[in-house]
Structures are given as structure tokens and as C-alpha cells.
């Protein structure tokens, strides 16, 4: 770590501690005069920290952590600096329309009439699937819902997608195939009870800082607590590990099967649990048995795992022993290192398998807990049905009875919702390329930077024959390609619901006015619907009315959110579903008798996987396979991408914070000293990184955090000369359709 970076991390810890005091510190006290505090939620990561937002003279001026929320008053530095994202001079404050290749100021009437005309005309002329919506896990639930309804019931297309496809689709696939329904069964509280943490493919310290602090506190409170971190790179998360598994990229699926095999061979399985709760499956059918599973695992020995992964066998065995030891409560956590892979869903299945065969599930501290990236990927997109193949609250487009239920509540004729899933994210932008999709509405996301192999999709968006509408709060790498830019009101300038990693729904309150002519995404969509002739679909006066409708859509489903009324959201500091009635406290242990209201009181076992046939979760046989693009003679290095603590994705917001904008914003290529030596490069020298897609030069950062044969670049740099997605590959998991951002092949040369 560079000195400045170390200082930054220390500062981050210090502000967290400061905010954790909950009551005003000296610094706050000085500023506290005349400040009105309102509870809210941080708009950055999927931890979903509760905050208090301080407003003075109509301006958001301060943030402090909410002591009464799950984060116990802690926030990280990004959260602490939130007010700045509202007030940079670059804010979009009026609509823009592209004329003669230039974006020029326009009125709302002009802009929205043009959008309405283009979309309705395209539907008439080219068919309903010629239009599409591409949304975000950072929009409020009501906003994503308004778009969902406008596109499915108004334009009648299932081309409704969002950036969670780039992020959580493999986790969704994992939960649905293993347990029957999406979303984890545990909560953050499990952290306080776990004896062993298994963190794989997650840089928790940088990407989920407040959760990481909670894990660190747990370890500090009980020295017997052990942490296993598995990542091809040594990250700040790895520094807390008792056992650190630095495996070769993509070999973790082998390791996970070897752990399972180790449990089988060493009597660490829970036979009673398996007998009562587990089915076995291969491919798509759960038609296998225990013996077949044991046979499937046989080749996955620890010896072979050590050879394949490059990890010492002692470390692998010690890790498996800690995980599997019968007295230990084990909590697994993972994020993009597992999801953004050719076999992302399989990776998820294999982690779930470890918990199912050891029975380490549904007990406080024992759980299989996927960390969500964005603040509202769970509530707003996964639960609300904002991907092309799903409908609200666990329903599927392809099931006629599910479509009929939604059509009935929407009051639209049977057959309104198309019977085929729409296009997933990459297919959507590929259809823009081929002009099968002609009009796209992009909201709260920046695909001109964040899509893999991005040159291709930038070209499709820039094409004068495609009509691209972008709603954002700042100019971005996507707004520059747009035909119409709509200025959105930002977090805190509007109200809506966020649902974070642990099934916790929380209300974000409006505390200040939108800037210039900016409007809330919700209001823009309602207005647009009316201009398209679909006003009747959205008779809503405010997001409250849309929320009422969402509660009706959830009724009778396994997403029991009926008790999470608007009134309760205004009052409570988040509520965790299942929560069927307003007086229900919310459910921490999903699927567990006596906790989850869906499980009958007289069910003969402590846990019931009620979303699966026979109430059995499925242990899937998932083999280890090569990545979509493996290093070879011509492109001999693994190229991987990810995050640093200082920045948020495309840095449209953190890049405009004065404390953050210079910190770590330039993408460097992290390269192992052995490789650096061979290339003759030192830290700061230029390294040309070339893939089959493009070739860019990055400054080198020589560090043994990496490993020979692997280089890492962070994704935040929006400079077109260093935008790493020009290099990444647009292959995806055939199950989840999630792109494989974590692995492609490159060659290196000194520049
Ligand atoms: N500061 C900050 N925090 C964020 C975000 C942000 O932009 N900035 N974004 C949020 C979002 S949307 C998300 S999705 C999360 C992402 O959170 P994380 O997934 O924790 O972050 P990443 O850096 O993308 O990737 C995690 C790790 O995957 C590892 N990895 C690479 N290849 C492999 C492999 O083959 N196997 C395994 N097991 N691991 C591998 C990388 O070395 C990296 O350390 O962060 C959220 N939090
Ligand atoms: N190479 C590489 N690429 C990746 C990844 C990776 O690991 N490596 N990770 C992928 C993942 S997991 C994710 S989640 C994506 C994230 O990728 P994006 O979603 O494209 O990135 P963000 O910067 O979060 O974009 C959010 C946009 O919304 C705008 N915005 C903020 N608030 C509002 C609002 O209230 N309304 C509107 N309309 N706009 C608003 C912001 O200014 C910003 O432009 O990136 C993916 N791309
Ligand atoms: S950990 Fe995530 S949610 Fe919490 S303050 Fe930091 S960025 Fe915000
Ligand atoms: Mo993400």
C-alpha cells in the first residue's frame, strides 16, 4: 500500500469510529447548530448502512451513522462524504437533446414528447420488442417498478433488465437452483455468532467496509474465531486471515469440490440433516443420490486440489478442517470473484453444497451468505422482478399462472405480458448493435463504461440509427452517447425504498429539493407513461401508491413483505422480510421453524426448504471447468478487474468528491515482481496490456499482492485511455448470463 493509501485507510477507520459514537462529537457539535437530522440509508454499497442526514438552510451538510440500525452507527468514508455527491457543479440540471451531433438544452416537454414519440412509433413500426429498459440496483424500488410496469404492460415487452445482471445474476441462479427462491436465509447478525468465516472471491474490506469491520470486531472479541480468505490476490481483506488461500484464478471450483470430498472422507458430514433436507442433482434434474455424489467427488482430492490451485495442501486441509469441524458455526461470504465467471452459478451451488452436507445452515452463525453489491439490487431488482426473465416476487415470465397473477393485479387483459423472457443485458446491447432493439431507456447506470468489451456497445449506442435515452445525475461515458439526457434528482432529493443484502427494506427520505430542473426518476417515468398513452397504468400520486401496489403483488407469495407498510418504513430503521403483518418483528432465520412464518409450527424438523419440491434443498454436482478465455501462448496472462475502497464503479460520484477524486483514481496494472522483472518494468513504468479486444497502457504497480501470471486493474478509471472494459471479454455464464469480468487473457509489454 502506498503511504497516501495507508493514510486514507486509517482516515476511513477514524471517521467510522467517529460516526460510531452516534452522538455529536466535537467536530459535529460545532457544526450542529441549526442542523435537522433525518434518518436514511447510504446510497453506495449493498451493506445498506443506516445514516442520519443533516440539513441546514436547505442543504445536505453532514452524515452520521445510525446507532439504531444494523450498522450500529458505523459508516465508511464514502458514506461519510455523501453530501458532496449532490453539489458538484457538473450536475445535470436540465434535459438535453442531441441535435447535429451535439447535446443541447431542451425543455422537459420537448424531451419527453420526443422520447414518447420515438418509443411508441418504434413499437408500432418494428414491434414491441424493438424497445428496451436497462435499469439499476441503485434506483429505488418504486422507480424500477414504474419502469417494469411501463415496459411490460404498456409497451408489452419483457425487455426489462438492469445492471444486477452484471453483478448478482449468478447468486440469484445459485439460490434459486439450490433452495428454490432467491435471497439468503441469514442476516448480518450471523456475523456475531460465527466461529469460522469463509470469505471467497470477496474483497470485503474494500467493497463492504462496514461489514468487514463487524467481522473484525467479532474476531477481536473472541480470539478463537478463525477467518479463511480465498482470493487469487492478497487484498486488504486477506490481511485479517488466519488461513489465506492464494489460488490460481478459476481453480476455486476444484477446491470447493475438494472441501466437500474432504468432509465426506473425514466424517464431517451431517447424515441426519442430509436424510431429512437434501436432494441430489446433476444437470437440471434432482434425480441423483448420496452414492452418486460420493462417486462424483472422488477425483477431487486434496492432493489434486493443491496441484491445480497452487495452494499448499496443509493450508487447504487446515481450511477444510476449520470449515467442517462439527462444533464450528461457519459463515460463507462471497461476491464477484465467484459470480462474474463462466461458471458463476456453479460456484454458488458449490458453496451452498458445503453448508448442506455439513448441516451448517439456519443456525445463528452458520449460513451461506452472498454479499450483494448495490444498495437496492435485492429489493429493487431481484425481488421486484426487474430482470428479463422474472416478474415481481419470485414469479417467472415463462409460467402462465405467474403472468396471469400479475396481469390481474395490474388490471390488464390476459396475454398482455409476453410469454418469453426478454433480452438479458448483453443480448440487449447486442440487439442494439443489430438494430433489433431501436430504442433503449437507461436509468441510473453507466453501461458506456461498465459493460465488458465496451467498445462494441459504445459503438452501438453512438449509432445514429439507435435512440438512446439516459437518465443520470451527472454527465457520464453513457450520456455522451445519448440522444436524450434526462436530469435525475439524486438520493436525498427524492423518496423511495432500498432493500439490502440481508433482506432488510428501508425507506430513504427526501430531505432536500432537486437541483435545477432535475426530477425524480419515478416522476419522469410516470410522466412518460402518460405521454405514451399509458397513464391509466400509473394512477399514482407518489411512490407511496406504487409501494401499496407492490405489497399487493407480494401477497400470497413466499416474499412475505405485507407488514412492511409505508407507515412502518417511515418509523422503523429497516425491516427484514419475511414479515407478514405490521406487528411482526421480521425474520432473521429464513426457512427455520419458529422464526420464518411460512414454516408450519408443527413441521417435524427445525428447518424447511419450502421453496423446493419435498422441502429439500439440492446438492448439485458441478464440475470444475476452464474459464471462457484461458491464457495461452499468445495471451499468457490472466487479466482480472475489480474495486478499490475509495471509488464507486464508474466514479461519476466519488470522482466528484474532493477527498476522493485524486485517491487511487488512475487505474494501475498490479503485477507480480517476478513478471515485472521479466518485462523489465518498475512501479510507475507504462505497461501495455493487450487482449483480443483492445490494447491500453497503464502505469505499473509492482506488488506481490498479485501472483505470477495474473494482473489486476481496477474498474473505476473513466479515462478512455485506461477504461479496463475495453479489454475485458463479453462472454457470460450460460445459466445466469452474467459476464465473466473476473477472467480473460492478455499479453503484456513494456510501453
Ligand atoms: N468501494 C467500493 N465498494 C463497492 C463497490 C465499488 O464500486 N466500490 N461496488 C459494489 C458492488 S456493485 C459490488 S458487485 C461489490 C463487489 O465486491 P467484490 O466482489 O468484493 O469486489 P471485486 O474487487 O469486484 O472482486 C472481488 C475479488 O474477486 C477476486 N477474484 C478474481 N478472480 C477470481 C477467481 O477466479 N476466483 C475467486 N474466488 N476470486 C477471484 C479479485 O481478486 C477480487 O479481490 O462491491 C460493492 N461495493
Ligand atoms: N471490469 C469490470 N466491469 C464491471 C464490474 C467489474 O467487476 N469489473 N462489475 C460490474 C458490476 S458488479 C456492476 S454492479 C456494474 C456497475 O456499473 P454501473 O451501474 O454502470 O456504474 P455506476 O457508476 O454505479 O453507475 C450508476 C450511474 O447512476 C447515476 N446516478 C446516481 N444516482 C442516480 C439517480 O438517482 N438517478 C439516476 N437516473 N441516475 C443516478 C450515477 O451518476 C452513475 O452514472 O459494473 C459492472 N462492470
Ligand atoms: S459500508 Fe457501504 S453502505 Fe455502509 S457507509 Fe460504506 S458504502 Fe455506505
Ligand atoms: Mo455489482
373-403 per-position pLDDT tens digit? 999 999 999 999 999 999 999 999 999 999 9
374 as an active site residue: the answer is: yes
- CA angle 609–373–395, rounded 5-degree value: 40
Phi-psi region of 664 (alpha: psi -120 to 50; beta: other; left: phi over 0): left
According to CATH, the topology of domain 98-164+376-441+463-473+480-540 is Rossmann fold (3.40.50)
Spatial separation of the C-alpha atoms in residues 693 and 696, rounded to whole Å? 10
Quote the cell numbers at residue 293: 455424489
Interaxial angle between packed helices 454-462 and 425-434, expressed in degrees from 0 to 180 and rounded to the nearest 10:
50
C-alpha 43: how far from chain center:
13
Q: Is 383 in the pocket of ligand 1 (CB under 6 A)?
A: no
Quote the cell numbers at residue 418: 409476453
Task: Count CB neighbours of 3 within 10 A.
Answer: 7
Quote the cell numbers at residue 75: 459508516
Counting ligands in written order, the one closest to the CA of 139 is 2
Q: Under CATH, to which class is 169-370 assigned?
A: alpha beta
pLDDT value at residue 28: 45
Length of the chain: 751
Question: For residue 445, how far is its CA from the centre of ligand 2 (angstroms)?
Answer: 4
Q: Which atom of ligand 3 is nearest to the CA of 41?
A: 3
pLDDT value at residue 26: 43
Spatial separation of the C-alpha atoms in residues 603 and 614, rounded to whole Å? 13
Interaxial angle between packed helices 543-554 and 141-149, expressed in degrees from 0 to 180 and rounded to the nearest 10:
80
Helix, strand, coil tally for the chain in percent (to 5): 35, 20, 45
Task: Name the residue ranges covered by the structural domains of the chain.
Answer: 5-86, 98-164+376-441+463-473+480-540, 169-370, 637-750
Say whether 27 sits in a helix, a strand or coil. helix
Four-CA torsion 119, 124, 127, 133, nearest 10 degrees: 20
Spatial separation of the C-alpha atoms in residues 432 and 478, rounded to whole Å? 14
Question: Strand 285-288 relative to strand 160-162: parallel, antiparallel, unpaired?
Answer: unpaired
Four-CA torsion 426, 427, 428, 433, nearest 10 degrees: 100
Give the gyration radius of the chain's Cα atoms.
25
Q: Is 438 in the pocket of ligand 3 (CB under 6 A)?
A: no
Element (H, E) at 400: helix 400-410
Q: Is 649 in the pocket of ligand 1 (CB under 6 A)?
A: yes
Q: Is 210 in the pocket of ligand 1 (CB under 6 A)?
A: no
Q: Which atom of ligand 1 is nearest to the CA of 137?
A: 12
Q: Whose CA is nearest to atom 45 of ligand 2?
A: 450
Question: For residue 402, how far is its CA from the centre of ligand 3 (angstroms)?
Answer: 35
Residue 412's alpha-carbon distances to 93, 328, 525, 530, in angstroms, are 36, 53, 19, 16
Question: For residue 370, how far is its CA from the centre of ligand 1 (angstroms)?
Answer: 12
Q: What is the CATH number of domain 5-86?
A: 2.20.25.90
Catalytic residue among 39, 64, 78, 747: 78
Catalytic residue among 288, 374, 384, 506: 374
- CA angle 215–218–220, rounded 5-degree value: 110
Question: For residue 642, how far is its CA from the centre of ligand 1 (angstroms)?
Answer: 5
Counting ligands in written order, the one closest to the CA of 86 is 2
CB within 8 Å of 523: residues ≥ 6 apart: none
pLDDT value at residue 20: 40
Q: Whose CA is nearest to atom 4 of ligand 3?
A: 49
Spatial separation of the C-alpha atoms in residues 369 and 208, rounded to whole Å? 13
| Cβ atoms of residues 652 and 312 within 8 Å | no
pLDDT value at residue 564: 98
373 as an active site residue: the answer is: yes
- In tens, the pLDDT along 146-168 reads 999 999 999 999 999 999 999 99
pLDDT value at residue 4: 56
Catalytic residue among 9, 45, 168, 378: 168
| Cβ atoms of residues 575 and 586 within 8 Å | yes
Q: What is the CATH number of domain 637-750?
A: 2.40.40.20
Q: Is 728 in the pocket of ligand 2 (CB under 6 A)?
A: yes
Test site for ligand 3: of 19, 67, 79, most ligand atoms within 8 A of the Cβ: 79
Quote the cell numbers at residue 628: 471462457
Test site for ligand 2: of 87, 136, 167, most ligand atoms within 8 A of the Cβ: 136
| Cβ atoms of residues 416 and 108 within 8 Å | no
| Cβ atoms of residues 746 and 711 within 8 Å | yes
Q: Please give the model's pTM, rounded to 2 decimal places.
A: 0.96
Spatial separation of the C-alpha atoms in residues 547 and 551, rounded to whole Å? 6
Residue 499's alpha-carbon distances to 338, 470, 474, in angstroms, are 22, 24, 24
SS (H, E, C) 329-358: CEEEEECHHHHCCCCHHHHHHHHHHHHHHH
pLDDT value at residue 33: 76
168 as an active site residue: the answer is: yes
- CA angle 104–106–110, rounded 5-degree value: 135
Question: For residue 219, how far is its CA from the centre of ligand 4 (angstroms)?
Answer: 27
Counting ligands in written order, the one closest to the CA of 16 is 3
- Which phi and psi (to 5°) does residue 498 adopt? -115, 140
Question: For residue 48, how far is its CA from the centre of ligand 4 (angstroms)?
Answer: 14
Q: Which atom of ligand 3 is nearest to the CA of 75?
A: 5
423: nearest Cα among 165, 663, 86? 165
pLDDT value at residue 3: 47
Question: For residue 162, how far is its CA from the centre of ligand 2 (angstroms)?
Answer: 10
The low-confidence residues of the chain, meaning pLDDT below 50, are 1-3, 14-30
| Cβ atoms of residues 423 and 159 within 8 Å | yes
Element (H, E) at 498: strand 496-499
Sequential DSSP letters for 682-711: -TTSEEEEE-SS-EEEEEEEE-TTS-TTEE
Q: Is 317 in the pocket of ligand 1 (CB under 6 A)?
A: no
pLDDT value at residue 22: 38
Distance in angstroms between the alpha carbons of the first and the last residue of the chain: 24
Strand order in the sheet with 59-65: 36-41, 50-56, 59-65
Q: Is 457 in the pocket of ligand 2 (CB under 6 A)?
A: no
Q: Is 386 in the pocket of ligand 2 (CB under 6 A)?
A: no
Quote the cell numbers at residue 375: 444498495
Residue 91's alpha-carbon distances to 295, 475, 516, 654, in angstroms, are 60, 7, 9, 13
Catalytic residue among 373, 386, 563, 642: 373
Question: For residue 45, how far is its CA from the centre of ligand 4 (angstroms)?
Answer: 9
C-alpha 126: how far from chain center:
33
563: nearest Cα among 546, 576, 553, 573? 576
Test site for ligand 1: of 78, 164, 198, 201, most ligand atoms within 8 A of the Cβ: 201
Spatial separation of the C-alpha atoms in residues 500 and 375, rounded to whole Å? 5
Amino acid at each position: 500500500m502506498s503511504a497516501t493509501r495507508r493514510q486514507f485507510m486509517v482516515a476511513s477507520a477514524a471517521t467510522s469510529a467517529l460516526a460510531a459514537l452516534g452522538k455529536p462529537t466535537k467536530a459535529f457539535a460545532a457544526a450542529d447548530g441549526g442542523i435537522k437530522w433525518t434518518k436514511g440509508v447510504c446510497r453506495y454499497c449493498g451493506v445498506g448502512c443506516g445514516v442520519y442526514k443533516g440539513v441546514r438552510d436547505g442543504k445536505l451538510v453532514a452524515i452520521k451513522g445510525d446507532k439504531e440500525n444494523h450498522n450500529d452507527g458505523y459508516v465508511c468514508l464514502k458514506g461519510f462524504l455523501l453530501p458532496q455527491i449532490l453539489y458538484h457543479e457538473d450536475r445535470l440540471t436540465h434535459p438535453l437533446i442531441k441535435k447535429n451531433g451535439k447535446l443541447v438544452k431542451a425543455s422537459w416537454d420537448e424531451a419527453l414528447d420526443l422520447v414518447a414519440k420515438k418509443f411508441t412509433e418504434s413499437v408500432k413500426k418494428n414491434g414491441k420488442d424493438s424497445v428496451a429498459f436497462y435499469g439499476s440496483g441503485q434506483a429505488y424500488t418504486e422507480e424500477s417498478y414504474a419502469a417494469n410496469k411501463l415496459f411490460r404492460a404498456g409497451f408489452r415487452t419483457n425487455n426489462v433488465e438492469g445492471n444486477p445482471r452484471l453483478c448478482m445474476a449468478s447468486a440469484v441462479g445459485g439460490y434459486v437452483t439450490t433452495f428454490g427462491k432467491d435471497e439468503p436465509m441469514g442476516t448480518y447478525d450471523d456475523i456475531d455468532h460465527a466461529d469460522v468465516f469463509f470469505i471467497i472471491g470477496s474483497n470485503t474490506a474494500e467493497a463492504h467496509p462496514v461489514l468487514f469491520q463487524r467481522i473484525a470486531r467479532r474476531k477481536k472479541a473472541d480470539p478463537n474465531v478463525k477467518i479463511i480468505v480465498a482470493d487469487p490476490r492478497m487484498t486488504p481483506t486477506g490481511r485479517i486471515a488466519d488461513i489465506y488461500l492464494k489460488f490460481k484464478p478459476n481453480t476455486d471450483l476444484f477446491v470447493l469440490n475438494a472441501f466437500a470430498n474432504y468432509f465426506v472422507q473425514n466424517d464431517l458430514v451431517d447424515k441426519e440433516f442430509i436424510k431429512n433436507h437434501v436432494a441430489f442433482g446433476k444437470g437440471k434434474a434432482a434425480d441423483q443420490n448420496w452414492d452418486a455424489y460420493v462417486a462424483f467427488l472422488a477425483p477431487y482430492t486434496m492432493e489434486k486440489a493443491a496441484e491445480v490451485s497452487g495452494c499448499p495442501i496443509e493450508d487447504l486441509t487446515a481450511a477444510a478442517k476449520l470449515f467442517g469441524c462439527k462444533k464450528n458455526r461457519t459463515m460463507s461470504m462471497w461476491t464477484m470473484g465467484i459470480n462474474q465467471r463462466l461458471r458463476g452459478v456453479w460456484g454458488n451451488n458449490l458453496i451452498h453444497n458445503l453448508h448442506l452436507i455439513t448441516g451448517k445452515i439456519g443456525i445463528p452463525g452458520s449460513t451461506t451468505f452472498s454479499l450483494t453489491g448495490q444498495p437496492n439490487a435485492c429489493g429493487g431488482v431481484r425481488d421486484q422482478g426487474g430482470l428479463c426473465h422474472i416478474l415481481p416476487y419470485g414469479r417467472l415470465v415463462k409460467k402462465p399462472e405467474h403472468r396471469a397473477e400479475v396481469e390481474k393485479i395490474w388490471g390488464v387483459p390476459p396475454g398482455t405480458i409476453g410469454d418469453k423472457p426478454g433480452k438479458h443485458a448483453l443480448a440487449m446491447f447486442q440487439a442494439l448493435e443489430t438494430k433489433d432493439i431501436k430504442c433503449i431507456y437507461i436509468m441510473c447506470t453507466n453501461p458506456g463504461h461498465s459493460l465488458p468489451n465496451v467498445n462494441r456497445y459504445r459503438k452501438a449506442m453512438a449509432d445514429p440509427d439507435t435512440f438512446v435515452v439516459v437518465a443520470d445525475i451527472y454527465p457520464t461515458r453513457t450520456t455522451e452517447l445519448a440522444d436524450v439526457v434526462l436530469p435525475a434528482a439524486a438520493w436525498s432529493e427524492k423518496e423511495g425504498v432500498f432493500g439490502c443484502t440481508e433482506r432488510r427494506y428501508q425507506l430513504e427520505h427526501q430531505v432536500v429539493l432537486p437541483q435545477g430542473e432535475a426530477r425524480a426518476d419515478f416522476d419522469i417515468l410516470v410522466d412518460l407513461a402518460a405521454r405514451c398513452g399509458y397513464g391509466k397504468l400509473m394512477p399514482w400520486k407518489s411512490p407511496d401508491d406504487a409501494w401499496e401496489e407492490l405489497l399487493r403483488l407480494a401477497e400470497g407469495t413466499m416474499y412475505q413483505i405485507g407488514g412492511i407498510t409505508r407507515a412502518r418504513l417511515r418509523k422503523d430503521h429497516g425491516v427484514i422480510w419475511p414479515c407478514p403483518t405490521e406487528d411482526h418483528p421480521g425474520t432473521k432465520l429464513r426457512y427455520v421453524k419458529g422464526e420464518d412464518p411460512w414454516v408450519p409450527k408443527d413441521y417435524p424438523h427445525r428447518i424447511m426448504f419450502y421453496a423446493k419440491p419435498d422441502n429439500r434443498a439440492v446438492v448439485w454436482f458441478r464440475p470444475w471447468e476452464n474459464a471462457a478465455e484461458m491464457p495461452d501462448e499468445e495471451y499468457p496472462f490472466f487479466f482480472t478487474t475489480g474495486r478499490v475502497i475509495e471509488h464507486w464503479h464508474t466514479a461519476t460520484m466519488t470522482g466528484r468528491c474532493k477527498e476522493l477524486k485524486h485517491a487511487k483514481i488512475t487505474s494501475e496494472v498490479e503485477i507480480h515482481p517476478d513478471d515485472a522483472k521479466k518485462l523489465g518494468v518498475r512501479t510507475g513504468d507504462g505497461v501495455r496490456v493487450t487482449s483480443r479486444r483492445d490494447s491500453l497502457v497503464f502505469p505499473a504497480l509492482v506488488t506481490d499482492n498479485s501472483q505470477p501470471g495474473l494482473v489486476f486493474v481496477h474498474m473505476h478509471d473513466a479515462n478512455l485511455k485506461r477504461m479496463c472494459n475495453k479489454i475485458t471479454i463479453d462472454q457470460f455464464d450460460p445459466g445466469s448470463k452474467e459476464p465473466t469480468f473476473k477472467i480473460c487473457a492478455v499479453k503484456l509489454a513494456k510501453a
